[in-house]
Amino acid sequence: MHGKKRPAGQVLISRLLRRTLARKALALLQQWAQLRSVADRKARSKQMQKRNRASCGSHVLKVLFLLLLLQLLLLLLLLLLLLLHLLLLPLLLLLLLLLLL
């Protein structure tokens, strides 16, 4: 078939077929790329949501820990006041007794 020329109609049809196949292949590749980018975006957004949830959980834990520390400090302050009261009350009573005598 190297020596013979193909009919013009056959050449035209083969060119059209090649062009349409190339266009369809290009369109399919573009659709595939779009689907992949959408899937990648969704996966990235899910990862970000997980990170945000994890960081939110750690913030909640930090706040709860700080509240626990605050409660412990208040309890220590209360115990200190109770000790002062127990120590000072007899001293004040003794002082009052001495003043009355």
| pLDDT tens per residue across span 66-96 | 999 999 999 999 999 988 888 888 888 888 8
Instruction: Tell me what the mean pLDDT of segment 2-27 comes to.
Output: 79
Nearest C-alpha neighbor of 56 from the set 45, 48, 67: 48
**Percent of the chain at pLDDT above 70?**
97
Distance of CA 5 to the CA centre of its chain: 67
